[in-house]
């Protein structure tokens, strides 16, 4: 496993000219990890709103036309050689330039149309991390009973371990300020990355976290999740994360060089109550 780190040299490589769209004065980067999602990625990219400034598709050696299709829709396709959902996100974060990062799967199960609604909620609630909960699941085809039970159990365990109610610990759709990555110690390279980023958000009193529901639908193409193996590992990972010693975000200073605006807009507060930081800045891991 590698900790999250930013490599500035990744930034400019092969990037198509961006649209420089803005949403209420904020630039938005959408990151989509993909492993053989040729069926879904086209639908996702077609439905992304125009105000998205940068679209990053992180491909992990797909053997189908995922990368080709993504490029044809103007996405910046980057390739991560080492397999893994978390690994791909960490690579994507290295090249993200938007103030706000939005994530979703390439399988068309999360609604790209909901991005403006999520951003509205994000700004209205004055949060730093907004989790798009798939619950209640309204489309009976979208999630099997087994997956529902697994998701509920994992979310309950997370809520109990970290003393913060989280309805969907496994959702893959998030909206967050890029600068909060400075505050996070992201170690997992696989699917547990999804719960890890939420744990890093909810247990940090400087990161305001909220959740709202979205409409989740059935995916196109094959799932990459191995339900039993991944589910058990996710449980183990949560306990390990809860009871092991917390590391300081290892490469925060490097990240801060790339994100000079870090101190400007994150306010110190806890859970939904916005109050400006007294010092006007905060130090990662302080």
Ligand X SMILES: Nc1nc2c(ncn2[C@@H]2O[C@H](COP(=O)(O)OP(=O)(O)O)[C@@H](O)[C@H]2O)c(=O)[nH]1
- Binding site residues, ligand X, CB under 6 A: 33-35, 37, 58-60, 83-85, 88, 105-107, 172, 219, 223-225
Min dist. Cβ of residue 235 to ligand X (A):
15
Nearer to ligand X, 35 or 55 (CB): 35
CA 236/CA 258 separation, integer angstroms: 34
Neighbour tally for 265: CB within 10 Å: 11
Min dist. Cβ of residue 124 to ligand X (A):
27
107 binding Mg ion? (CB under 5 A): yes
Nearer to ligand X, 58 or 212 (CB): 58
Interacting partner of 195 out of ligand X, Mg ion, none (Cβ under 5 to 8 A depending on kind) = none
Min dist. Cβ of residue 189 to ligand X (A):
9
Q: How many positions of this chain bind Mg ion (CB under 5 A)?
A: 3
**Residue closest to 209 by CA, chosen among 222, 219, 199, 223:** 199
Tracing tokens 């938007």 back to the chain, one arrives at: 98
Nearer to Mg ion, 59 or 107 (CB): 107
What is the DSSP code (8-state) at residue 60? S
Specify the DSSP element, H or E, that contains 42. helix 38-46
Nearer to Mg ion, 97 or 147 (CB): 147
What distance, in Å, lies between the first and last C-alpha atoms of the chain? 24
- CA distances 149 to 6, 132, 156, 168, Å, are 36, 18, 11, 12
Interacting partner of 33 out of Mg ion, ligand X, none (Cβ under 5 to 8 A depending on kind) = ligand X
Min dist. Cβ of residue 117 to Mg ion (A):
20
Min dist. Cβ of residue 114 to ligand X (A):
16
- Classify the C-alpha dihedral 10-82-108-100 as positive or negative: negative
Min dist. Cβ of residue 42 to Mg ion (A):
16
200: Cβ–Cβ under 8 A, 6 or more apart, which residues? 183, 184, 185, 186, 207
Interacting partner of 35 out of ligand X, Mg ion, none (Cβ under 5 to 8 A depending on kind) = ligand X
Q: Which residue among 38, 53, 59, 105 contacts Mg ion (CB under 5 A)?
A: 105
* Contact (Cβ atoms closer than 8 angstroms) between residue 238 and residue 158: yes
Interacting partner of 128 out of ligand X, Mg ion, none (Cβ under 5 to 8 A depending on kind) = none
Nearer to Mg ion, 99 or 105 (CB): 105
Nearer to ligand X, 23 or 85 (CB): 85
Min dist. Cβ of residue 25 to ligand X (A):
30
| Joined tokens for residue 174 | 């998030």
**Residue closest to 14 by CA, chosen among 57, 53, 43, 51:** 57
Nearer to ligand X, 227 or 280 (CB): 227
CA dihedral 77→81→84→85, nearest 10 degrees, is -10
* Contact (Cβ atoms closer than 8 angstroms) between residue 86 and residue 186: yes
Interacting residues with Mg ion (CB under 5 A): 105, 107, 109
């Amino acid at each position: 496993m590698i900790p999250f780190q930013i490599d500035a040299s990744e930034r400019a490589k092969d990037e198509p000219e961006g649209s420089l769209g803005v949403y209420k004065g904020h630039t938005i980067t959408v990151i989509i990890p993909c492993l053989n999602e040729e069926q879904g990625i086209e639908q996702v990219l077609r439905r992304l709103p125009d105000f998205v400034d940068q679209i990053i598709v992180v491909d992990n050696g797909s053997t189908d036309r995922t990368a080709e299709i993504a490029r044809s829709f103007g996405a910046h396709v980057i390739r991560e050689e080492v397999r893994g959902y978390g690994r791909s996100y960490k690579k994507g974060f290295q090249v993200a330039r938007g103030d706000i990062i939005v994530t979703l799967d390439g399988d068309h199960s999360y609604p790209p149309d909901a991005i403006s609604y999520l951003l509205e909620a994000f700004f209205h609630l004055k949060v730093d991390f907004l989790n798009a909960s798939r619950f209640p699941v309204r489309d009976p085809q979208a999630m099997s009973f087994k997956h529902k039970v697994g998701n509920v159990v994992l979310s309950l365990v997370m809520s109990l371990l970290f003393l913060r109610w989280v309805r969907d610990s496994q959702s893959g759709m998030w909206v967050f300020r890029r600068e909060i990555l400075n505050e996070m110690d992201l170690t997992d390279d696989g699917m547990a990355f999804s719960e890890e980023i939420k744990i890093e958000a909810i247990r940090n009193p400087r990161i305001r976290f909220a959740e709202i529901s979205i409409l989740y639908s059935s995916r196109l193409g094959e799932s990459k999740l191995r339900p039993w193996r991944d589910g058990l590992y996710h449980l183990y990972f949560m306990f390990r994360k809860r009871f092991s010693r917390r590391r300081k975000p290892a490469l925060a200073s490097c990240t801060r060089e790339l994100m000079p605006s870090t101190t400007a807009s994150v306010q110190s507060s806890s859970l939904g109550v916005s109050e400006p930081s007294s010092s006007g800045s905060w130090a990662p891991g302080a």
